[in-house]
Structure formats: C-alpha cells, structure tokens
Structure 1
Amino acid sequence: MAQDRILISSEWGNVSAELADNAAARALSGMLPLTIEMDDHLRQEKTGDLPTGLPTAPRQREFSAGTLGLWSSGDFVIYYRDGRVPQPGIVILGQVQGGVSIFDRPGKVTVKIDRAR
C-alpha cells in the first residue's frame, strides 16, 4: 500500500510529508483537512492541538528535523531540529520531505494540513 502524502501550508511556506504506516497516522489522514494553531516550544518544534485524540502506536525518544510526531493523543508536533524527548517518547506520524526550516522561527503559526494532490 502506498504511503499517504500530505501538504502542510502556512503563511511561512509549504512543505510536503509522507505519513508513517501506523494507526495514529491513518487516523490523522482520516481527519484531513485540518487547520491547527501552533506554538513554538523549546526552539525545536511547533506544537498544536488536534480536534480529537489519535490512537496509540509505538513510541520512540529520538527525532530528526522534519519528523511529524504525536506527544499526547491530541498534541501534534512538527520538529524543525534534531533531538530527543523524555519518556514515554513520541508516536511518529510522518516525515517532511525536504526542508522544514520554514518553521525555525519564534512565535505562533497557523498551519493547514491536507492530502497532497
């Protein structure tokens, strides 16, 4: 089965991403299109609330720039730097294809997430 591709757009620019093959990413895909207000956190990520929680999936502690993650069941994260999170780790939702540096700036941003066409 081909992986779902999504487009994440904001006033700062657009990036595409490939979703992971897990229950949480499939549930996210089923929610699209979405608009999420995101805050900067620790100068490594943008975080925002999903309208409903996603199912659980395996977690890991390491992430790289461009990782799309899920901290709690409804906390969507776009990582724009490499790093590591504390236990219990994050659910990997996908990976941005190409540069994610458009999010590497302080402040809030509203993103729209939809299926790539």
Structure 2
Amino acid sequence: MAHERIRITSAWGEVTAELNDHAAGRALLPMLPLTIEMRDHLRQEKTGNLPGSLPEVERQRDFARGTLGLWGPDHFVIYYRGGRVPSPGIIELGRLTGDVGIFDRPGPVEVRTERLP
C-alpha cells in the first residue's frame, strides 16, 4: 500500500487523509465508500462505528489535531484537538489534511468516507 488516501466529507466541509501502511489501514479500504454517523466526544473528537472490526496493531496514548484513529476494533475517531487517551490507547489510522477545525463544533455529524483515486 503506497500512500493510500481517503476523502472525508460532511455538511461542514471536506478533508483528506493519508492512511498508515499497516494491517488496520489496509483493512479499512475495502469497507469504502462508507457513511458514518458520528457524535462529539469530550470536545476533542468525533466518533462513530465502522460496519466491522479492523485488525489490532500497535497502539499509542498521545494524539494530535488531525489524527484519524481507531479506539475499539470498530470505533472510528477524528481528532480535532490534541491530547492523550487512557490505556490501551488508539490505533493511528492516518493523518488528516485540510481544515480539521470543521469538526470542532458540538453535535452529531454524518460523514462520507471514500477512497481517492
């Protein structure tokens, strides 16, 4: 997998992400395109469920603004602020580019996630 990119669109705007080259990043691609209902969590992230689990890979506790992550095996996360999560941490799926601040507002949002050519 060489620099696979995805687009995430919502009524609030659009961002792109470059996925990490590991088993979880590769397993996300066949699920796309995908619409995910996301909700705000702790005023730092939007979270929603994938239709299936992704493989377990190395986790980390720190995250930065623009991290695309996985909390549980099917728990998709867009971090619009930086911070730290408790153990066991998150799987970093990739990094967002564009105005991640579009997600920095309260309330739910529906996102469409698709592979870029």
Aligned residues: 117
CA distance in 2, matches of 1:98, 1:109: 17
Runs (4+) off by over 2 Å: none
Q: Which residue of 2 aligns with 1:20?
A: 20
What are the ranges of 5 or more consecutive residues in structure 1 without an aligned counterpart? none
Q: TM-score, normalised by structure 2?
A: 0.97
Q: Which residue of 1 aligns with 2:115?
A: 115
CA distance in 2, matches of 1:66, 1:34: 20
SS in 1 for 2:24: helix
CA distance in 2, matches of 1:105, 1:25: 27
Cα-Cα RMSD: 0.8
Percent identity, aligned pairs only, is 64
Q: Which residue of 2 aligns with 1:42?
A: 42
CA distance in 2, matches of 1:55, 1:3: 19
Q: Which residue of 1 aligns with 2:29?
A: 29
Q: How does 1:35-114 map to 2 (within 5 A)?
A: 35-114=35-114
Shift of 1:99: 2.3
Q: What do residues 46-98 of structure 1 show as CA deviations (whole Å, max 9, x unaligned)?
A: 00000001110100000001100000001000000000000000001000013
SS in 2 for 1:77: strand
Q: What do residues 14-59 of structure 1 show as CA deviations (whole Å, max 9, x unaligned)?
A: 0011001110111011211010000000000000000001110100
Q: TM-score, normalised by structure 1?
A: 0.97
- Amino acid corresponding to residue 36 of structure 1 in structure 2: I
SS in 2 for 1:30: helix
Q: Is the 8 A contact 2:14 2:98 kept in 1?
A: no
CA distance in 2, matches of 1:67, 1:99: 12
